[in-house]
Amino acid sequence: MERHDMDSAMIEFPPQSWDAYYRHREDIAALLDPRCFSIGWMDTQLLSGDALAFGTDDAVIIVTVKQYPAGATELHGLAAAGAVGGILELIEQAEQWGRDKGLTFACISSRPAWARLLKARGYCVTRVEISKDL
C-alpha cells in the first residue's frame, strides 16, 4: 500500500495499476498541456504515491487526494485514457474507494465533453477555468 500524506491524516492507497498506466502512458502524455505538465511529472506523482492509477485492461484513470483548509477532502481526477466504458467503470471504483476512505467529494478536471457525459452520474459543473496566453 502506498501512503498519501494529508497534513496529519494518512490515506492508504491501494496498489498502483502500473500495467494499465504503462499501456496508456503515451495517450496520457498527449493529453497533458506541455506548458504545465510533463509525463515525467506524472510518473513522479505515481512513483511517490502522490497520485494513484486505477486501471483495467482497456482504460486507466489517475487521481489524487486534496485536503482543504476547512477540512473537506477531495478525490481529484487528473487524467484518464482508454475506452470510455472502461473509464466510467474506473470512475465508479475510485468513487467507492473515496467513500470508503471518508472523502468529502469527487472532482474531475476535464474537457467539456466529460461534463456532459458525467452529468447522468451525478456530476455537475461547479467551477469554470478560463485561460489566456500572455
What is the architecture of the domain spanning 2-106? 3-Layer(aba) Sandwich (3.40)
CA dihedral 102, 105, 111, 117 (to 10 degrees): 90
> What pLDDT score was predicted for residue 93?
95
As a 3-state breakdown, the chain gives helix, strand, coil percent values, each rounded to 5, of 40, 30, 35
Q: What is the DSSP letter of 17?
A: -
Q: Is 128 helix (H, G, I), strand (E, B) or coil?
A: coil
- The predicted-structure confidence for 3-54, as pLDDT tens digits, reads as follows 444 443 556 667 788 999 999 999 999 999 999 999 999 999 999 999 999 9
Half-sphere exposure of 2 (CA within 13 A, CB side): 19
Q: Where are the domains of the chain?
A: 2-106
